[in-house]
Structure 1
């Protein structure tokens, strides 16, 4: 039996939800059943609910753990009873919808629920108590009453009325004591936090005090990730102790009490207890101690992100402290830092601890795993340890707990079992890691706990799309409605997801390319995923198959892989299941799956969510049409014939989301019944299907309609939009097919208050339709609350009046694309909320707004300002202009711009930034960050104009990318040296650029990444400017025809942070310069630098580590990637002894591996890749001596016919596109199998060989 606080999650159906359910159920029963005992039953249920709530509130308290078995059983019974009542009520609602659809078909008019109640109500009244569905509802309510009555058995140990919505104060005080910390560093050795420590120290003492007296910094991370350790490191630094007058450490923990914390601060300063017990007296004492003192105050383990009043009471006396005072907080939730910033009225800095690097975590693991014995441990244990560490997600606590556990049993078999087991099922993990993390979970409100647990059914590392997760939460019934809630459930789900991200249960991340966000998603850290699985035990389950695990009947949400129909049939007993995510991975015939799945679906009557993935031909069973509670269906197949029976879905009247990823020929689909899905809110289907759905206006609950193609036939006109009042996102295609302007008005776009994004597409067509398009667009006026607008393929000459007037005051994003007749855009300043502007393929555009060149304002002196009097909207964040060849100049840009991209345009000089001369100060914040991308602007000749002439803005520039500007000659007056925060610089294919006239250093010391491609004389000039770039992390030279040597020893010695060097297509490069001095270098790749490879191999060897000039070879490469093995005979590569990875790719002349070099690196080498080596004849027997090698990949080596003995440490062998004889010898039972049978993963041409 699962423990009491895991099994039910009784709070998931707390009394407001039960009350809502009961009120709705008794509403039906009182009206249509008319039984005398109903009122007494209702009164008794409502009277007992407070007692049920008391038990719910006590579920997590330590005092009832001894009763967990009985309470656990009762809670599951209660959940079953509630869900039975919910299903009964839901079934009544289903038939109500069904009657409504039938009535609409008979009347052949738009469906409105108020008109259709009559028929359904008459049926209920006619049949009364004999109605089977009403009878089931009454029996379900009676069953619920029977279970709820059992609550009295648990009231003896529940203090009714003394607990709140979370754990009681006494519990929090106990918990707080367990996790109390001090400023003293408890670890005698700390790994991997140097970079983070330096960053915080720079913030604390490296900057001059500015602005408010009190500033703050938050360290955010999951439990066990080193937040407290990092804070202790900071606190103990001598520089910190000397810089601040007062240094105070407060262990806050879960119970946040301003009075108690204030008393702790006073006692930390005075070193004695205080008798004061009122906030007034404590504040007076504290102010006296703090006045004019520079204070460092560290709050460790803070949880309070709700009670702003307590924060205000705490901070009130701190405002008197001296300039430069700092507050440092550690917390698991970013939302805590947000609240502190709001209370202090300052924008704080945040550091997210995402876990240790693998090498640092391995050192920590080894410390705990190998500390107890003085023996030299077997190599295979070290190899297993490295594999275990890869699975720990960077968590220091996990490394310590698992390492300490393994130290008690040093056998290979035991370690391998731990590696193969699921960590979250290990008792050591439950007692250590999960216990620490569970505190974060228990601090969540019950509704967020429910949504978090659900996510355990997804695989580890899964990337959640926001809409996908929200739709599944909604479909599963996790977003619970109560009688007092009125906002749309989608908004509630979005709030929940945002809260979970702010509380660090999810990490929000995005994929960007050249500054463009391609994808946004949420990811749950591996450690949090383990915790989600632990707290959802018995309720949620993800498993690879049935054969290895028994699935409890209590499971509500299941994700499973099915290999055959026999295993599929074993799902039949899960009649409480609400979510089924199923992947068919076997090769059973489709008919076998079809028949078995039909049987399964007949039993799973409570299903709300059904997600199917299959690689075989698959037909939806007829039984799917009987799943009357179904809300969400997602189907994906690699075969295109499974949807011929899609009409079986059209009786699922409760369906809210339909997701079809693949499909058969759209012409085969019967789509006339799609309009029956009157509750459908989200429709994700291929465009061919969407554009073929007739009378889509019947789907009155739709919130998204992407790709509605207007056609000149009944059922496809724009009037179908009339009743779609809940639309939030709309994309209209083929607008040129609108014939009548009155049809546009009938669509009532202007009345759709929920509409947030509107995309208008005209298809390309012949003829002069400028006037027609102008009128059509004028009439397509949306509601003024619109946030996103796309206009694509528009053939008119001007934008509508509703865009020129201050109407769209909430518009955030505007895209205008392929509007080939538009020569001028109006001023966009009326779009006061606009943040993103995208202009593309406006082939005749010459002007934006009405501007003339010239200076603005007398206060611009010294600012270098000579911009236009036309400005972009004040809040513009990103500006992209692409394919506007006649656009020569731009309006002045707002100072808050974060991204400027100009591509394939006729720009002749860079734009200026707006100077707020009336206030006399630059409107820049410390967080301003500008990325500039200029590409293929053939008429741009100089970077010495525009915002590069405005020194005050140069500090905001972080990234510069310049490509293919063939006439570009001039850099800014002082190069890039004045861009003191520049981090990334990339210049490519600008062959006329030259810095000859500049007698200054071109590059700033802040630079982290530098990429130069084919830039003529500028190449060597930039090499000469590298000295002193102690932040440089990446250096890449490509197609640099003028470069003959890498920087000298003196230069490389100053590049102390350089980790990556890439050299590609540099034909004149003949020397690696002082490369051997790069102690920090971890990645080096050299491709197609043929002159470098031609250096004679008779160079003096550095095997003893020192060159004749006295410079030691300090290289400790992580990865070396080369395309010519001869490079391994070139110094300093020849003398490397510590390389961890070697990749030799595309070497057509290598006949044998560089054996001596490999042996030279045998103690360090972990991975060896050999790709596309057509002359390689054999592998050396000395490979067996590479005692730490973990993986070996041999790809496209057609002459290699056999393998030598391979090292015992090898964990993976991958052989592809090699000699057929080698393939046969390496298969199980082949002549080389005995040499590789010990390797856990052996792949031949991508297929894994199963070991014994």
Structure 2
């Protein structure tokens, strides 16, 4: 029989705090209700002392298990009662006839509410008294099956795993050779640090993954034995006792050591002396300690070892590895299916030989796939089956979950339950709930946190947002290996999922195939698309106590109609997920779900939301994404004063009049200002919880500076990205400029803002607060056409990305923009872009190397009057100059040889005034430059006098549309390591370049376009060439000689070369995989006839000239 662990301790803890809060008056209960709540809190206090003891006993005690189940029902009844009262109070306040000023009432609801409905109060009192009676009976029943609470020592014995040692039979280990080699290499590689004599390597992974086994392999490796003077193995387990560990370490160093002293100083001095000058390897196996002080106290005595000493720590908790410091944690992965099969086979069959049992081998491999590479599971289940040789036995195991296996043969869950037992109570509740999702489900962190919030799993902590607290819960579970990273989110290993099921039986159920008999009292349900036996919503009505209903996987074969009374019967629902259901409407009865906090309708076909949605006063999350036929939201949506997350199309949210009533809203990506009531910028005033990104559009509709001030942006501490956007279609006047400046002055955001965008601002200058936002990392300023002075942004210490465009009023960028000479301008800047500044003529700034010391990318685009700018720092990796008025290239500031230029990529596009490259940065020692692109410079005539041969890292050259460009006369142009060369419309350049091909030994790609002066190739192409493209060379008469020797060539494309008569005499190389010929009539005819044998071996051929040849080429391609 499976063991179910009612996870009550966390739930009872939250419930106890809830009752206490109610009793001391937060809900302002009437006196008689308050008195009963105080009595109830006393009863809870009495019974809570027995809960943890009963949870420990239930593993072996059926009576304790039964008692916990009864207590759980009473606890839920109590929790439902409190939730119902709170919901009734809120609905009474908001649902009455006089809810015109409902926002004001909501704010005072929980501080001054007095529910004067005597009948309701009497009902509450009666229900509380019934609960007290049930609790009293449970206390008495507790005494029947045993009143002795398990001591801490006994409880520890239940949890402890067996002690480990360094000994291992490596013949029974599979699939860890690569991991072993990696770790051995890490241990033997010298530490480059000059000050660290001791390095620590944490090996992290979930329970049962084989961390200890792997460490044993490493520990006993011959190279490790030879390298270290001492090897020590300590099994730490849960109790990290520094004194005990110190004694055990001394015992390992000095055989026969024994001491009764409790003087930690003496012990540490002794250990320090014994390790002095010795290179040691210390293994600390199975570490759980999260107290840095304990670790530091133990570690002090280990620092006297010789440099190169190592500590290997195995742990299930990534945070433990980080706490201990040292090397990057080694995250151990699951075994491959093949290695897992070898391990399973070794335990399931005599001598690991399955050849005599072919049918069992087939079933066994299917079992192994379910184990998802967990070594512990492979060994345990293999051992379980070693004495069972019938197919039925093996099939039963295949069709069972781990938690359903016989407990006397199953050591998988006990090993994992140890991790579970170390979780804080609240995390146990969060983890256990996840069993409601199917195996291999990909979790979204944010969505799961929202569901935990809706179920009341997340406890408030001061002023921290619930979402942030829930996120930390998730991160803690991830760190402890309860979740694993996945490319689309997060997943839970099947064994962990089985553990979650084992601790939440009858609490969380999945309605899947094959159909099981579900417990109708279950609180959390999920419905999988694989279950074809459930075809209507009526089936869910039987689960009257359900708090969660998740319809997963978008199965749309279920009837699209939801019964009108369904939500009258499922009144305890907190979470309802109908996403991607084939439903077109939601019944009005949804408004009866007073406790509903999470509603997901995304991807459904609903055309409207019922107005009763406005009665869901407890709702925290409403998801309406991809509801393509939903055109508007009801006016009652603004009653949802607890709504924190509204996910819907931008236009739906923008259509809400009075969105400011949703005072708990955490996300509002876009707010479109209108002049109408309910859409003014003052709606943002009370939305103090807005988090992340917000774009405020149509700011021209803000009537005055006073109205702008009502947005209270400076008080919105959680906004990190702010976009302020005016319409760019309005006619600009000086009056509008003055108004914009006044409005922007009062739209000052919180000082911790990290990203700011200002678009189409009509002012002449920016407010001074922009230079005081010291946390800004990214700024976008665009289409501010009236602005004549740039703000002083160089003083912002953290600014990394700055994009300024469309500032047609800027003529000069002066020193004020960068900062004074006493400080470094833009000390953290990584990327700077100036774009579309039609009147910018000069940029003057600090000339002593203070400007932009960390810049890596610089782009100057569409600045036609800008002829030069200051030398830029040697840190720049990428420089782009486009559509600008430069006559010569700028220089790189190199204060000394210790800071050589870092430039890797240089792009020059469409600079009509650029005539020569003989001056500027290309004449500097650009030893890191790998890519040079020059396009559209019609007046450019001169390359650097020494050519490009000095650019020793240059691998790629693209030169397009530079018809006057000439090669240098006395020096070679091309660097010897060139890999990629593309030349277009440079007729004066092509022939000299080709002459140099014999000096290039690494060219891989060659593309030549529009070179009318090219008649033939004077030399053979490099043997390294892989791809050849020749386009629009109207006078080219011959293909390159020696193509048959180009043994690396895989693709040739020839386009519009009408004078090429045929292929070279020899066949094209056997390496060729693709041949494309288009609009080359003579060559086409040749390939179709006498040259066919030269290309017949090529897998893909496309030759197009007329309709006949097109058909022929297609047939060839298909063959």
Which of the five TM-score ranges fits, normalised by the shorter chain?
0.7 to 0.9
State the SS of the aligned residue for 2:231. strand
2:449 to 470, 473, 479: 470
Residue 1033 of structure 1 is matched in structure 2 by none
Q: Is the 8 A contact 1:620 1:645 kept in 2?
A: yes
1:1089, 1:181 → 2: CA distance?
66
Which moved further from structure 2: 815-824 or 885-894? 885-894
2:334 to 355, 358, 361: 355
Please state how far the C-alpha of 1:507 moved relative to its aligned partner. Answer: 4.2
Alignment partner of 1:570 is 2:539: yes
Q: Is the 8 A contact 1:387 1:419 kept in 2?
A: yes
Q: Deviations over 1:1177-1211 (max 9, x none)?
A: xxxxxxxxxxxxxxxxxxx99x9xxxxxxxxxxxx
Distance 1:222-1:117 versus aligned 2 partners, 3 A rule:
closer
1:853, 1:2 → 2: CA distance?
70
1:315 to 295, 299, 306: 299
Residue 454 of structure 1 is matched in structure 2 by 433
Residue 572 of structure 2 is matched in structure 1 by 606
Which moved further from structure 2: 436-445 or 108-117? 108-117
Please state how far the C-alpha of 1:234 moved relative to its aligned partner. Answer: 3.4
1:8, 1:717 → 2: CA distance?
51
Please state how far the C-alpha of 1:804 moved relative to its aligned partner. Answer: 1.2
State the SS of the aligned residue for 1:662. coil
Distance 1:382-1:188 versus aligned 2 partners, 3 A rule:
closer
The structure with the largest alpha-carbon Rg is: 2
State the SS of the aligned residue for 1:772. helix
Residue 49 of structure 2 is matched in structure 1 by 54
Q: Is the 8 A contact 2:925 2:951 kept in 1?
A: no
2:40, 2:379 → 1: CA distance?
51
Residue 767 of structure 1 is matched in structure 2 by 731
Residue 780 of structure 1 is matched in structure 2 by 747
1:291 to 253, 276, 279: 276
Q: Deviations over 1:1001-1027 (max 9, x none)?
A: 889xxxxxx99766679999999679x
Please state how far the C-alpha of 1:1071 moved relative to its aligned partner. Answer: 8.7
Residue 720 of structure 1 is matched in structure 2 by 683
1:708 to 671, 695, 703: 671
Q: Is the 8 A contact 1:609 1:631 kept in 2?
A: yes
2:230 to 246, 252, 267: 246
1:854, 1:733 → 2: CA distance?
31
Unaligned runs of 5+ in 1: 342-346, 512-520, 858-868, 915-929, 978-984, 1004-1009, 1027-1035, 1049-1062, 1076-1084, 1101-1120, 1125-1143, 1150-1172, 1177-1195, 1200-1252
Residue 687 of structure 1 is matched in structure 2 by 650
Which moved further from structure 2: 817-826 or 240-249? 817-826
Q: Deviations over 1:219-250 (max 9, x none)?
A: 22222333333333433344444444433222
Q: Deviations over 1:654-704 (max 9, x none)?
A: 11111101335565x353211111111221121111111011122122222
Distance 1:74-1:451 versus aligned 2 partners, 3 A rule:
same
1:750 to 711, 714, 724: 714
Distance 1:990-1:30 versus aligned 2 partners, 3 A rule:
closer
Residue 634 of structure 2 is matched in structure 1 by 671
Alignment partner of 1:828 is 2:793: yes
Please state how far the C-alpha of 1:293 moved relative to its aligned partner. Answer: 3.3
1:500 to 435, 456, 477: 477
1:626-665 alignment runs, 5 A limit: 626-637=592-603, 639=605, 642-663=606-627
Distance 1:267-1:1175 versus aligned 2 partners, 3 A rule:
farther
Please state how far the C-alpha of 1:292 moved relative to its aligned partner. Answer: 3.6
1:501-580 alignment runs, 5 A limit: 501-507=478-484, 521-525=489-493, 527-544=495-512, 548-561=515-528, 563=532, 566-580=535-549
1:365, 1:21 → 2: CA distance?
51
1:799 to 751, 757, 766: 766
1:403, 1:239 → 2: CA distance?
33
Q: Deviations over 1:241-289 (max 9, x none)?
A: 4444433222212221111111121111112232143222211211211
Residue 189 of structure 2 is matched in structure 1 by 205
Residue 150 of structure 1 is matched in structure 2 by 138
Distance 1:1011-1:291 versus aligned 2 partners, 3 A rule:
farther
Q: Deviations over 1:306-325 (max 9, x none)?
A: x2332122122223334343
1:616 to 575, 582, 599: 582
Q: Is the 8 A contact 1:11 1:446 kept in 2?
A: yes
Residue 311 of structure 2 is matched in structure 1 by 327
1:76 to 69, 86, 97: 69
1:375, 1:1146 → 2: CA distance?
45
Q: Is the 8 A contact 2:525 2:550 kept in 1?
A: yes
2:82 to 78, 84, 89: 89
2:509, 2:998 → 1: CA distance?
61
Please state how far the C-alpha of 1:884 moved relative to its aligned partner. Answer: 6.5
Please state how far the C-alpha of 1:368 moved relative to its aligned partner. Answer: 5.7
1:735 to 699, 707, 727: 699
Q: Is the 8 A contact 2:286 2:313 kept in 1?
A: yes
What number of residue pairs does the alignment pair up? 998
Q: Is the 8 A contact 1:912 1:946 kept in 2?
A: yes
Distance 1:191-1:510 versus aligned 2 partners, 3 A rule:
closer
Distance 1:938-1:664 versus aligned 2 partners, 3 A rule:
closer
Alignment partner of 1:912 is 2:873: yes
Please state how far the C-alpha of 1:437 moved relative to its aligned partner. Answer: 2.5
2:604, 2:27 → 1: CA distance?
48
State the SS of the aligned residue for 1:575. coil
Residue 585 of structure 1 is matched in structure 2 by 555
Please state how far the C-alpha of 1:132 moved relative to its aligned partner. Answer: 3.1
Please state how far the C-alpha of 1:445 moved relative to its aligned partner. Answer: 0.6
1:988, 1:817 → 2: CA distance?
27
Q: Is the 8 A contact 1:671 1:692 kept in 2?
A: no
Please state how far the C-alpha of 1:731 moved relative to its aligned partner. Answer: 3.1
Residue 997 of structure 1 is matched in structure 2 by 949
Residue 625 of structure 1 is matched in structure 2 by 591
Q: Is the 8 A contact 1:1002 1:1025 kept in 2?
A: no
Residue 1013 of structure 2 is matched in structure 1 by none
1:81-480 alignment runs, 5 A limit: 81-102=74-95, 105-108=98-101, 110-113=103-106, 121=114, 124-125=115-116, 127-128=117-118, 131-132=119-120, 134-136=122-124, 138-147=126-135, 149-154=137-142, 168-172=152-156, 175-182=159-166, 184=168, 186=170, 188-194=172-178, 197-198=181-182, 201-202=185-186, 204-278=188-262, 279-305=264-290, 307-341=291-325, 348-356=327-335, 372=351, 392-401=371-380, 431-480=410-459
State the SS of the aligned residue for 1:803. helix
2:186, 2:93 → 1: CA distance?
67
1:1022-1033 alignment runs, 5 A limit: none
Distance 1:189-1:758 versus aligned 2 partners, 3 A rule:
same
State the SS of the aligned residue for 1:431. coil
Unaligned runs of 5+ in 2: 912-916, 937-942, 956-976, 984-992, 1010-1016, 1031-1039, 1055-1061, 1076-1096, 1103-1112
Please state how far the C-alpha of 1:618 moved relative to its aligned partner. Answer: 1.9
Q: Is the 8 A contact 1:671 1:694 kept in 2?
A: no
Q: Is the 8 A contact 1:1012 1:1040 kept in 2?
A: no
1:692, 1:329 → 2: CA distance?
57
Alignment partner of 1:872 is 2:826: yes
Please state how far the C-alpha of 1:1047 moved relative to its aligned partner. Answer: 6.5
1:847, 1:295 → 2: CA distance?
65
Please state how far the C-alpha of 1:15 moved relative to its aligned partner. Answer: 3.9
Q: TM-score scaled by structure 1?
A: 0.68
State the SS of the aligned residue for 2:63. helix
Distance 1:751-1:617 versus aligned 2 partners, 3 A rule:
closer
Distance 1:58-1:413 versus aligned 2 partners, 3 A rule:
closer
1:1073, 1:421 → 2: CA distance?
61
State the SS of the aligned residue for 1:581. strand
2:520, 2:280 → 1: CA distance?
58
